[in-house]
Amino acid sequence: MDDELNALRRTRMRWNTPLSEPHADLLLDRMELAGGHLADLGCGWGELLLRALGRAPDLRGTGIDTDGTGLARGRAAACERGLQERVKWVEADAATWDVPAERAFCIGAAHIFGSTKAALEALTRVVLPSGRLLYGDGFWAAPPTPAAQEIFGPDLLALPDLLDAADAAGWRVLHLSTAGQLEWDDFESTSRAGWAEWLAAHPADPRAAAVREWLDRRLREYVRGYRGVLGFTYLVLGR
């Protein structure tokens, strides 16, 4: 798809993860934010990072992502909220980030490091020993269908195995929660809504057939392939 459509695709998403507002508030509570620095690895447009900065006036943040479109959205939102002096946006491979911080987020971005296990190990290097990490990752909530395995690959774990991997990397679980069905359905629906709205307004556009095909395929993959099968957990980790 072209730049115009790519820029539109995620506009209806609050963040790029299955997470309700009350659940986000709970996670930020459990992170016990104060001063110091918060690094968000694979931040997307950094909405949760900005919410964290909004709560803790002495906190500074850095969002790291390879996607310039997401970073531009984050930068614009930071300016609108008067947070631009307290946050940096870095377009880079977050796997190379090695500045230890008081707090870190890595949500839906384990693939940056290759796998869940590799991410949990690598992230010990970006959080100070007294710090906290908010780690969000997928897991198999039910035995995967072949279609789900095809989409999400061989590295996804069941939740007990994910917790074992956190333990093996030296983390202690301070808080555990998982995305509910409504959060998943809202995430999937909002991920389609930007293009669904465009399609309704531009049915005769030459790109309409490709957009309709993508929207139909995404919905089919979700409902037939991984709804209720793919889970998503949020762990607040310390050491």
Ligand X SMILES: C[S@@+](CC[C@H](N)C(=O)[O-])C[C@H]1O[C@@H](n2cnc3c(N)ncnc32)[C@H](O)[C@@H]1O
Give the footprint of ligand X on this chain (CB under 6 A). Answer: 15-17, 42-44, 64-67, 70, 93-95, 107-109, 112
Contacts of 196 (CB under 8 A, 6+ apart): 215
Length of the chain: 239
Nearer to ligand X, 58 or 93 (CB): 93
Nearer to ligand X, 81 or 212 (CB): 81
Nearest approach in angstroms of CB 164 to ligand X is: 23
DSSP assignment of 36-55 equals EEEEEET-TT-HHHHHHHHH
Nearest approach in angstroms of CB 209 to ligand X is: 27
| Conformational region of residue 149, where left means phi above 0, alpha means psi within -120 to 50, and beta covers everything else | alpha
Nearer to ligand X, 67 or 155 (CB): 67
- Distance CA(127)–CA(104), nearest Å, equals 6
Nearer to ligand X, 109 or 179 (CB): 109
Name beta bridge partners: 236. 134, 175
